[in-house]
Amino acid sequence: MRGGDVRTGELFSYVDLEDRVRKDHPLRAIRQIVNDALVSLERDFAALYSPIGRPSIAPEKLLHAMLLQAFYSIRSERLLMERLEYDLLFRWFVDIGIDDPAWDHSVFSKNRDRLLGGDIAAKFLGAILSQPKVKRLLSTDHFSVDGTLVEAWASMKSFRPKDGPRGGNGEPPSDSGGRNAESDFHGERRSNETHASTTDPDAKLYKKGKGKEAKLCFMGHGLMENRHGLLVDACLTEASGYAERVAALAMIEPFSDRPQAITLGADSRRSAIDGRTTRHCGYKASLRIRKRIEEAFGWIKTVAGQDKTKFRGRDRVGWAFTFAAAAYNLVRLPKLMTETG
């Protein structure tokens, strides 16, 4: 029998969001891990807010919403708020009621920026990894490190001489044809010593190798444990030829005081390691496993949208990169915890 194309419903509807999300939905396990991590950050959140004034968006809800933005590749806060308005799964994950309105996107952005001051992204990553059910998955003696380029939110037209004339707000002079004036860089020598971006001065001109185009970018770094390929640390630096090795030493430093020997695999064109090390099968295994960090970078840049950042300034871009690393771990943890019992 054909059903009728009519609207059904009652004057009053009682919707329990908990019943609308299936029991085996992967976000259920993720939300539990996130909630346990946020409990340990209570004091850090309290230090960021004044005891008086108008109530802001709860930082716990901010982080839940930002995780959804990374999981579902939502590019802007405006689109995130639109999705939060009608998607019951999103409302359940963020823990807002069915009748509660979504936030204004500009209000959401301003409240999110408050979390930059407390280095919440790094603390959130640490809080996830410190949980007993997660900690037992991590290797304590074998690690890998690598770096990847994060393109800046700035065009090459903004890369101008440091001592050159500028218009208001760092724009070219008014007689240059406007904001999108024609530019010809042929024959002009440009470098980070003589030029800087008027849009994002923290971004540096860098190219990955010979034959590659130079871009305004930053360099993101990750430290991965080799047992299950989870990121145990992440940071962002200026793009330079020495950034990877400096970041690697800084990230492995907290593990250097352990009584047992630790190994660190890295991408290097040249190596001073002699045959006493390279002859062992463990060395070959370390090189093979090290490539798994590219899977993490691929997810962070493609799914979480960090291939070309939408933020400006090293601090904000670094915060977003580290938070995306935490989101990557969360996507993988439910399956890993199920497989290992």
Range of the domain at 255: 139-162+191-311
Count of beta carbons in the 10 Å neighbourhood of residue 33: 19
pLDDT digit string (tens) for 277-314?
A: 656 666 666 777 888 999 999 999 999 999 999 999 99
Identity of the residue numbered 75? R
Lowest mean pLDDT among 12-21, 45-54, 169-178, 264-273: 169-178
Q: How many domains does the chain have?
A: 2
Query: Does residue 242 share a domain with residue 147?
Result: yes
Q: In this structure, is residue 87 part of a structural domain?
A: yes
Q: In this structure, is residue 7 part of a structural domain?
A: no
Most confident option among 102-106, 184-188, 286-290: 102-106
Q: In this structure, is residue 41 part of a structural domain?
A: yes
Give the confidence band of 168 by pLDDT, cuts at 50, 70, 90: very low
Query: Does residue 262 share a domain with residue 218?
Result: yes
Read off φ and ψ for residue 268, nearest 5 degrees. Answer: -145, 135
Q: In this structure, is residue 120 part of a structural domain?
A: no
Q: State the Cα angle at 205 between 290 and 247, rounded to 5°.
A: 35
Helices (H) and strands (E) in the chain, counts: 14, 7
Percent with pLDDT over 70 in the chain? 84
Exposure letters 205-226 (e unless 16+ CB within 10 A, then b): bbeeeeeeeebbbbbbbbbbbb
For 171, the 3-state DSSP assignment is coil
